[in-house]
Amino acid sequence: MKKEKLRIAIQKSGRLNEDSLKILKDAGVSIDNGKEQLKASARNFPVDVLYLRNGDIPQYLRDGVVDVAILGENVLVEKGKDIIRGEKLGFSKCRVSLAVPKSMKYNGIQDLEGKKIATSYPNTVKEYLTKKGITADLHIINGSVEIAPNIGLADAICDIVSSGSTLFKNNLKEAEVMLKSEAILAISPKISEERQQILDQLQFRIKSVLNART
């Protein structure tokens, strides 16, 4: 009989990738990075690691194709409200913010009424603006969002802010912090009982790592 393995997804490339591998390693899960680059297995723990695009991960969790993932909370807020939340992992801290050109006089959210906002986080922005009673025109783009005001595509943007250097370089200023985010364990609502048992062991180890880090 084939031994049951937990399927864990981590970001393929980007800011979460390295810290995700590090926390797994610290939890005693050594991943063999073989030739098969998008899938790897651990030598000493029953897990397979899948390297996926951030934005695709909520759907894999929803479908139960992946059991657990290390993901930014911001992604769950945007498209994974039905995904189970596990431990917060303390890295990849960032904000999801609205930003406007430095030259704009910004007095408050009412200044965005009727404006064009470029973002990769349409659901998050919509929910925030609706709560504030503001209607804006959203332009969905997948990257390099901060360039939008400079090229006349939008009046404002909503994106992740970490060091703030991308805003700075594009002559933008943070206008509203909509949410704060960090890496989190995201768990499939369809995880099987056998795999949940493996996950329990992994979570126990991760908690010890987190305790040791503080």
Quick one: which of 33, 150, 162, 208 contacts ligand PRP (CB under 6 A)?
Answer: 162
Q: And the tokens for 206?
A: 């991760």
Taking CB under 6 A as the rule, does residue 159 contact ligand PRP?
yes
Which one, 108 or 143, has the nearer CB to ligand PRP?
143
Which one, 67 or 146, has the nearer CB to ligand PRP?
146
Taking CB under 6 A as the rule, does residue 73 contact ligand PRP?
no
End-to-end CA distance of the chain: 41
Identify the CA nearest to 44 among candidates 208, 198, 209, 203: 198
Q: Which residues pair with 196 in a beta bridge?
A: none
Taking CB under 6 A as the rule, does residue 164 contact ligand PRP?
yes
Contacts of ligand PRP in 11-30 (CB under 6 A): 14
Q: And the tokens for 36?
A: 């098969």
Contacts of ligand PRP in 127-156 (CB under 6 A): 143-144, 146
Query: To the nearest whole angstrom, how small is the minimum distance from the Cβ of residue 95 to ligand PRP?
Result: 9
Query: To the nearest whole angstrom, how small is the minimum distance from the Cβ of residue 199 to ligand PRP?
Result: 29
Q: And the tokens for 46?
A: 């029953």
Helix (H, G, I), strand (E, B) or coil at 68: strand
Runs of H (alpha helix) within the chain: 15-26, 57-63, 73-79, 122-132, 165-169, 193-213
Which one, 95 or 190, has the nearer CB to ligand PRP?
95
Q: Could you list the residues that contact ligand PRP (CB under 6 A)?
A: 14, 143-144, 146, 159-166
